[in-house]
Each structure stands twice: as C-alpha cells, then as structure tokens.
Structure 1
Amino acid sequence: MTENENRQPEATGGGLYREYISNPLMSDTASDWSPLHDAAIHGRLCSLQQLISQGHGVNLLTMNRVSPLHEACLGGHATCVKYLLEQGAKVDAATIDWNTPLYNACYSGSEACVNLLLQNGAVPQGQCALASPIHIAAKRGHTKCMTTLLNHGALIDYNVTHLGTPLYVACENQQMDCVKTLLNSGANVNTSKNLESPLHVATKNLDTQLVNLLLEHGADTDAKNAEGKRPVELSLPNSSLEKLLLQWEGPLSLKQLCRLYIGKCLGYSRPISVSKLSIPQQLKDFLCYR
C-alpha cells in the first residue's frame, strides 16, 4: 500500500530470505500480505505485540518490500511506529518504489510519526529523489511534517528533475500554507523546473493570492519558460491577475528591496530568528509580510 507515483523497480543483489519475506514464491501483494502488516496499517498495537512475541519478524517484507513499519507510518499510527522501532524495525527500509517509512509518514501527514522516525535516525532527505519526503509533504499540504524535516536538515531547495523544488511542488498543488512556510524559511522563489518558475505555475493556475505572495518575496516577472513566455503572458488579457503582474514589472520599491535583503541575510534561520529579534513588533510583522 504505497504511493504509486514515480514507480521504479529496485535492483537487488543476493537472495531473498524467508525471515524477511512471507511468501517468496508469490509475487502479488495480496498473497504475501501478513497479519503483521494488517495489524500495523490498522493501528492494532495489541495484535502487533502478540504477533511479534509469537516469533513473527518485525522486518517481515512483502514481495514489494513493504514492511510493517511502512504500513504503520502510512496509517499514521504513532504508538505502533514507536513499538516497531523499539523492536528493531529498520527505520530507512525502502520499498521497490523507494518509499521509506518517512516518506509514508509525510504522505499521511503524521507529524508524530515523522518525529519518531527522525529521532530514531531516519535520513531526512530520503534515499532516492524518486520518493522525496519533503516533496510529498509539500504536495499534500502537510506543513508541520515539512517544517519538522527542515528542522532536521532536509534541503529546502532540493531540486528534483521531474518534480522541481518543494516550493515549486507546493505552488503547483496550490498549498498556500506550505508555500508561506517555505518562503519564510528562505526558499529560493525563482528556482524553476525545466525553466518554469513557481510564478509561472501559479499564474497558469490563475491563483491571484499565490501570485501576489510570490511577487512579495521577489519572484522574477521577467523569467521566461521553455516557450519563451513571461508569467504575465500566461495570464488572461485584462484580468486582475494580468494587472497585478504588470504592477510588479520594473524596479522594486526601496521598501521591498530592504525587506528582501534582510530576508536574504537571515536565510534559513528565518522561522525562528524573526520572532527572536530585538526589534519592534511592527518591524517583525513587516519582515513576515503580515
């Protein structure tokens, strides 16, 4: 029960052992589904404890290399995740789709599971760009999961060829809270995917509020996509969105330049630094675009 996006077979070396795979002769997911997996996905802690005490391996895998920990994270069951980790579950095990338990926790939006995994040594960046935890969190609008990853060292501008950056993904899926968090955390507003910037994709989505937010954070109105078009050329003629983009063309005001420069100096520490600066609240609000 893993995310089907970006599926790619895993190249494995060596044999597959019975203690890790419930039925090595069967390749369909249903046939090698175990009671342990079922208990994990449904959050049945007592069943998990009983099965493991009876000798069921905590790292039992399906033919798609899905572990009980993967399923507990996908279900967002923090108590089960904690127990499985205590019993020796592999925190960074990857499925054939390269999905790790951390990826699944970010998919489900369970901040508690994300914290448990990171506290037990999970790699915040993920093992493969095909299944990036911070990208799936941004796509699904799970701001708290995304913030937790950033606080544990995930790269804010991690640029995946077929996805873009987390900011691009958040804009593409119109996840406003994630966009705000990323921008206020120092994300590069102009990093593009195949020459298409976050401003381009926000304009194509006709999202005036998002376009305005990107412009306030220094989005380049002159950036051209693969077709050689600027964002304003993607807006509807005589629309409020076109008028907004035209208003931001040309030199920025001194006020806006100051805000952008201060934000650049604060960089990745902005989420905690602005609130702790010894400056008037009015200036804090100004720096946070409030």
Structure 2
Amino acid sequence: MSQETFAFTSSALRSLRLQRELLELEERRRALARESATRRFLPPRASAQLAPAPARRPQRCRDPAVHNALYAGDLLRVKSIFKDENAANLIMETVSEELAWSPELGLWVLSPRKKHTSPLRIAASRGYRDCARHLIMQGAEVDAVVGGQAALHDSVAGLRLDCARLLLAFGADPNVLSEEGLAPLHLCTDPESLPCAELLLAHGARVNLSTRDRHLTALHVAARRGLEAHVELYLRHGAEPARRSREGETALNAACAGAERPEDAERYYRVAERLLAAGADPRAAGRKDHTPLHNACGNGQTRLARLLLRHGAAATAPNCAGYTPLDCALHAVDEYRHQRPERTIALLLDHGAGPVNPKVGDAGARLPPGFWGGGRRQCHSVPPVTRVSRQMLKFCCRCPRALEVVLNASDRVPPAEAWAEAVPPELWQEHEVFYESALRMAGQPRRLQHLARCALRRHLGARCHAAIPKLALPPALRHYLQLPLEGLIH
C-alpha cells in the first residue's frame, strides 16, 4: 500500500461523516446569524435590498401522525417528515369544537376553532433540542410568529434554556414581539426563569423594551411578581425605575400592588428596597393616582409602608377618588385583621395622617382633601365628625385593636349607632370589656390626659414618629403619647 494512502475503516468513515455534518451545521448557524444581524442593524432600505425574495405561502398540516411525531420528540420520524424548507415551515393546524353563543339562533352552538403553531414552536416549547436543530437546518424560520408567538417565546415561557440558547445561536431575535406585543424577556415571570433572562440579555435583549399595549417593561413584570433576583439583574443592565406603564405605574407601584399575600411580604419588601436604592420615587402616582403607599396600606403591609415612609412617601396624599393611604388601610382592616392592621394605622398616624376633628355641629368645617372619599367637597348636611366617624368605625369595628387606635386618635368618641350593630355577637362577647367601654364613652368628654395627648400629637403632626421618642418626658408618658393599646377606652 502506498505511503500516501490509508485504510478507510468504518469508524474512520463515520468520523469523517460526523465532521462534515458539524461543519455544515456551523456554516448554517453562522449564515442565519449574519442574516438576522443584517436585518436588525442595517437601515430599512438597505436591509430590504439584501432581503431574499418572499417565500411562498406556507401550507397547513392537520395530519395527526405529523403532530404526534413533533409532540413526542421522535427525532427519526421528524427527520423523515421534515426534509426541506417547505416542510420545516408548515403551519400545524388543529381544529376543536367549542361552544359559542349564536345571536341568530338564540342558543349555544358548537363552533369550530382553529389553532395554529409551527413545528419549531412545538419542539422548542417541549425542550426537544435535537428536533429543533434539525428543523432549523432544514430552513425553519427562527423568528416566524405563528399562532401569536415565535419559538423563542415558547422556549422562554417553558423554561427550555437549551432550546432558547440554540435559537439565539442560530440568529433568533431576542426582542421579537408576539402578536400581543410581548418580547421573550416579558415572559420571564417565574423564579426559575432567571437563567433565561440572563441568556436573553447576553444576546442583546433590550431591558427597557415595553409591551405594545400596556407599556410594561421587564422590570414592571419582575416587580409585580416579587422576583428579587430578576429585579437586581435588570437594574444592573440599565433598567430605569422611573419608566411608567400606560396607566402611569412605575415598577415600585407594581411591587407594592403585588404584595397581596402575607407569605410573600418578605420578598416584596426586598424588591422595594432595591428599587428605592436605585432611585425609584416613593411618591409616584400610578393607576387611579394610587401611590406605592396606597397599595402597601391596602394590602396590609406594615413593614413595606414603613420603608416607603422612611424614603419620603406622603402619608396624606389623596388618590383620584380622594382616598388617602389611611383610608386604604382602614378599608383593608377586615380582610387583614390577622396581620395586626392597627400597626399600619398607628404608623400612618405617627406620620401625619389622621382625622381632623372639628366641633360637633360645626357644619361649615372643612375636611382635608380626599378624606373618606369626600374628594374636595365640603360637608354641610351632616356634622363632619359624624360623617367621618361612621365610615371609620364601619371598617374598624370587627378588629378591636384597630378600633382602639382610631378612637384614641380623636379627642372625642363619636356616637356608636353606626358601628355597634355591625359587631358580630360572638366577637362582642370575646372583647366585651373593650366594646362596653367604647359604648359607654360614646358622646362623652374624654379625660384631660387624653386631650393633652391629642393636642400634643396634633402640634407635632408628621413629626410624631421622630419627635416623641426624643421628648424630655418620663418613659411612661412618652409611651402614652404613642397610642399604646390598653384594651379600654378611657
């Protein structure tokens, strides 16, 4: 045998064949990536000149055998079915019968509903990386939006990191929009989606890209769901906390509105901390002019409310209906009565919130703007203190601790007709000593010690939380000025 030749064994042939396939795959990947980059970064006219002629209209496929091969991830059958570009870009169509109201017939009828997807979407959503690779090699369009989404949307939503990495390596646009106007980064809504978010950002995803309709950024989405790691990631990549949605909400508004469950309080607190450290405005009014403090108080989040107040949130800011954060806290008393709502109320009172107590019968007295839903109107038909108290006590009466704080914030106890009948008998029996004392003091003058407390707190106003602990008074008196709970109304 000549020295320039060697024996072609079966293993050597397999190795050469595999090497050739890998080279072809890499060439295809680079060509797709170059084409995607050209379309993304060149001016519209230039990219239009370089764009290939439009492909013919893709065909639809309803064959169950084809669908089953894709959904099962059967690579051998997928290779035998999808052998060219036309097959790789088929539209997979399913038809289901759904009930629909027919105005002409006046009854519900079965109506066929078509759903569309693509072979690449199916493979990417289920994590079939090899099937997805084969489809791309046969000419499947990586950015094709079929049935409302592209394959990259499905891989991110399904937490299929390998498929997302494959699509991006073959030139998928990380900012491709679905028919609803969502980019893949907007679909990172789960704590486990952090690697997907990191991958998208590494491949050029725009962190401040907004959804088409609601103008939500990825930071809005992460804050609303309390995803602390996502928020940190987006802020490191230049996310802007001041960005507003179509309704005017910032990410901080979204975080405080999303903190609804007690078990999630800690992670939403940490999200708010990071947003405030990044420059978020605690006074930013969002939907219906709700500030973050309105949302935190409405969700019974005392610690979150304290954080916002420490960063300059306004305890007396009204929303579009005239409600203040104290109103929101009082509305939430019954729902969050097991979360110590009296702490939120006392916190707001220490920061300047609270009822104005004009003299009974002073029909011309003016309430603060927005107090108890009255907007900027003036109450003339009923004495203001009566109207305020009825609303206040109706929300508080089922929580004795909250009711005690509210009553002690006033220099008189209003009549009890509005709230006494609303207290359940079993609750009254359990806290009979407190309720009887409140009933007994209704309409009666308070003792001089309490009136002095009210006068001093009114003088200090929003400085109560900082000034009272520094007063040169005996500890017992300082404690009394902070509206401690005694279980009685004196």
Asked if residue 215 in structure 1 is aligned to residue 349 in structure 2, the reply is yes
* SS of residue in 1 equivalent to 2:198: helix
Alignment map for 1:131-280 (pairs within 5 Å): 131-141=249-259, 142-160=268-286, 162-193=288-319, 194-206=321-333, 207-222=341-356, 223=368, 224-227=371-374, 232-236=389-393, 239=397, 240=400, 241-249=402-410, 251=454, 253=456, 257=460, 260=463, 263=466
8 Å CA contact 1:200, 1:231 repeated in 2:
no
The verdict on how the C-alpha distance between 1:20 and 1:172 changes in structure 2, with shifts beyond 3 A counting, is farther
Give the letter for the 2:328 counterpart. Answer: V
Aligned to 2:244: 127
CA distance in 2, matches of 1:161, 1:57: 32
Greater relative contact order (Cα 8 A, min sep 6): structure 1 or 2?
A: 1
Answer 1 or 2: which has greater strand percent: 2
8 Å CA contact 1:102, 1:122 repeated in 2:
yes
* SS of residue in 2 equivalent to 1:236: helix
8 Å CA contact 1:203, 1:235 repeated in 2:
yes
CA distance in 2, matches of 1:43, 1:175: 32
Listed one character per residue, the Cα deviations across residues 66-107 of structure 1 (whole Å, up to 9, x for unaligned) are 1111112x2232222122111100111111211111111112
Q: Aligned-pair RMSD on alpha carbons?
A: 3.3
Q: Give aligned pairs, total.
A: 245
Q: Return the index of the structure with the highest Cα Rg.
A: 2
Aligned to 2:219: 102
Aligned to 2:95: none
User: Which segments of 5 or more consecutive residues in structure 2 lack a partner in the other structure?
Assistant: 1-43, 52-140, 260-267, 334-340, 357-367, 412-453, 468-474, 483-490
| Superposition deviation, residue 261 in structure 1 | 6.6
Aligned to 1:278: none
* 1:22 aligned residue (135, 144, 148): 144
CA distance in 2, matches of 1:200, 1:62: 40
The verdict on how the C-alpha distance between 1:153 and 1:129 changes in structure 2, with shifts beyond 3 A counting, is farther
CA distance in 1, matches of 2:244, 2:323: 26
CA distance in 2, matches of 1:232, 1:129: 37
| Superposition deviation, residue 170 in structure 1 | 1.3
8 Å CA contact 1:125, 1:133 repeated in 2:
yes
The verdict on how the C-alpha distance between 1:231 and 1:113 changes in structure 2, with shifts beyond 3 A counting, is farther
8 Å CA contact 2:350, 2:462 repeated in 1:
no
The verdict on how the C-alpha distance between 1:246 and 1:129 changes in structure 2, with shifts beyond 3 A counting, is farther
| Superposition deviation, residue 254 in structure 1 | 6.5
| Superposition deviation, residue 21 in structure 1 | 6.8
The verdict on how the C-alpha distance between 1:233 and 1:200 changes in structure 2, with shifts beyond 3 A counting, is farther
TM-score (norm 1): 0.73
Identity %: 25
Give the letter for the 1:61 counterpart. Answer: L
Aligned to 1:75: 190
Listed one character per residue, the Cα deviations across residues 158-195 of structure 1 (whole Å, up to 9, x for unaligned) are 01351411000111222333222212333111111132
CA distance in 2, matches of 1:254, 1:215: 9
